Chains A and B, each alone.
Chain A
Amino acid sequence: MIPFLRTRILSSAVPLVCVVLGVFFLARMTGNPVDLYLPLSATPEQRAEFSAAHGFDLSIPVQLWNYLTDAAHLDFGTSLRTGRPAGEMVFDAFPVTLQLAGVTMLLAVTGAVLVGSLAAYRPNSPIDRIASLLSMTAASIPDFWFAVMGVLVFGVSLGLLPTSGTIGGPEIWVLPVATLLIRPFGVLVQVVRGSMVTALSAPYVKIARSKGATPRRVVFGHALRNAVTPVLTVAGDLAVGLVNGAVIVETIFGWPGIGKLMIDSILQRDFAVLQAAVLMTAVTIFALNILVDVCHALTDPRVRQAVPA
């Protein structure tokens, strides 16, 4: 397992460096912050002063060098907007997103495994058809539409749930999580079902039945672990999407997460915050990918063996 992890982490290092570099250059391609922050009437002297204060007057290679050395010390600079350290702002926003993503993925995977397995146990049965229809619908509903309709029906008309905000009891989670959940759940039900249908028709399932195993033992003891590989891959992919910032959900429901922070930073040319936010999500995404690979290795002994030490 240790050599497996080492190989995996090393192979992530190169793309990670690329992301760090890419963010730096892309941010500078979005425009000059001096134009945005100073009034149109600003004199050339004022402009030069502003640039010098934030290091924009230095040549690009020097800026890059400063950015890299500071980042190596986990110093991501200061926000133009708020004057707060960029790293701090990102660390404030990220847990909000992670919580949303974590709760959503937990519910999506658990729900999809149960519904998908039930559907796969008897292909083409009424249960299977209903599950397929529902999951297809769930996978196709646009999240912004669902969010707005949710607010309209449950928030405005029925008054059951708060329309936005992060202050309150568990009810504040319902609409944001439901909005985020619906597509991953729909997609995962389909993946679980397909993968389980294959697993359940395998000879080892017949052999398990020939030993008198109950349906539950057959599904959860034998088939599921064999069916889980594609499910993990897709779930990892969906989780990446959520960690990347659920921009729409965070905006509609007023959750101050990383997605909202990134959009705001881009709109205001807040380079330091943007760089820190992108770096943070990039690291998380690499970590997620490694986690998915570790899960593959844990569930399938053949994967463990295939990786050269």
Chain B
Amino acid sequence: MTTTSPPTRSDADTPALDVEGLCVELSTPSGTVRAVDGVSFSVRRGRTLALLGESGCGKSMTALSVVGLLDPAAAVTGGAVRVRGDDTLRMSPAQRRRLAGPVLSIVFQDALTALNPVQPVGRQIGEPFRIHRRLSRRQAREKAIELMTRVGIPEPRQRARSYPHQFSGGMRQRLLIAMAVALAPDVLIADEPTTALDVTVQAQIMRLLRDLQDERDMAVVLITHDLAVVAQRADDVVVMYAGTVVENGPVRDVFAAPRHPYTRGLLDSVPEDSVRGRPLPAVPGSPPELSAVPAGCVFQARCPLVRERCVRERPVPRPAGEGRSAACHFSEELDRA
């Protein structure tokens, strides 16, 4: 599976997913705001890229634009989302539907609401086979049972007839993952797949995702606000703040020596070697409202390095070492700090 991908699939060098300059605008009662502003990243098959950021930073919006599931109130206003080299943003709805499942797939955070409450789970898991492979109900059911076995649902044959509310949270997340990997997509987007679960179950789910990724040679985009998950699980990381990418690069390098004060602030707030009785370090303040993102650097209000140039001029991402970039005028100073 890992070595013999068919020739139609992209060769090793072309990324499975290549997002370039993605912009998403959101209509709100008080006007249009830019929720995602020029986000770029790419990920190859077999690799994991983490989109890291606080809630509201645009990481989920980015994910939904990639799979074409934005709410009607939001619209992609610029950029490209290339899958196997083709820009999905320029495709017709029918063309995009052909990619949805066999090429691109997504797992959501809340598996209870992500599963249809009035359909037996077996039918939902078999649905990709009905849609894309034109299998009969019976064949799709068999496929669903195979997948349920694979993701570790006990007694899958009986359980295929059960409804989502009859499963535990962890089991539901397994079902959702089974459904997402049914057609072995090139790219799997996992939007906070473990946030709603307790810690031991989280570890099992991350483990399952990793195994499935290896089996099926998928590129995984992992959306999370959990630094530990990024450190354990991802190859590369894209740090987002207020709709923009502030830093990206290999996880090991970025976490060892962040080149953006925001990344540094996040890493410092991990309560690893904090002293009992002393307040935990945190990034002071909170992210700007999307309607009030400043003209200069998006992070200026919370940045310890801020100076006059940051207010005047928005920093563009510039190379910051091997395969890395950071959007900060003064990233070199972080090495010394």
Contacts and interface: CB of A to CB of B under 8 A. Distances in A.
Interface of A: 122-123, 201-204, 206-214, 217, 222, 225-226, 299-302, 305
20 contacts: A122-B72, A201-B71, A202-B113, A203-B110, A207-B115, A209-B68, A210-B100, A211-B101, A211-B131, A212-B99, A212-B128, A213-B127, A214-B97, A226-B116, A226-B117, A299-B118, A300-B118, A301-B165, A302-B165, A305-B165
Contacts of B115: 204, 207
A211 B108 contact: no
A203 B131 contact: no
B221 to A, nearest CB: 13
B71 A203 contact: no
Interface in B66-91: 67-69, 71-72
Given A299-B118, A300-B117, A301-B163, A213 B131 contact: yes
A214 B94 CA distance: 8
Nearest to A210: B106
B176 A211 contact: no
Interface in B112-152: 113-119, 127-128, 131-132
Interface residues of A, dominant DSSP: helix
B85 to A, nearest CB: 20
Nearest to A123: B72
Interface centre among A203, A206, A212, A302, by most chain B C-beta atoms within 10 angstroms, is A212
Contacts of A123: 72
A217 B131 contact: yes
A222 B179 contact: no
Contacts of A305: 165
Contacts of A225: 118-119
Contacts of A210: 67, 69, 100-101, 104-106, 180
A200 to B, nearest CB: 10
Given A206-B106, A206-B108, 7 more contacts: A122-B72, A208-B127, A210-B67, A210-B105, A226-B118, A300-B117, A300-B118
A231 to B, nearest CB: 14
Which bucket holds chain B's interface residue count? 20 to 34
A17 to B, nearest CB: 35
Contact of B100 (A202, A209, A299): A209
Nearest to A303: B118
A255 to B, nearest CB: 39
Contacts of A214: 97
Contacts of A213: 97, 127, 131
A202 B108 CA distance: 12
B127 A203 contact: no
B293 to A, nearest CB: 26
Interface string B38-82: 000000000000000000000000001001110110000000000
A305 B102 CA distance: 35
B207 interface: no
B122 to A, nearest CB: 13
A94 B231 CA distance: 74
Contact of B69 (A209, A226, A299): A209
B98 interface: yes
Interface in B152-193: 163, 165, 176, 179-180
Contacts of B72: 122-123
The 6 closest A-B pairs by CB, nearest first: A212-B100, A204-B116, A301-B163, A203-B114, A212-B97, A203-B113
Contacts of A208: 116, 127
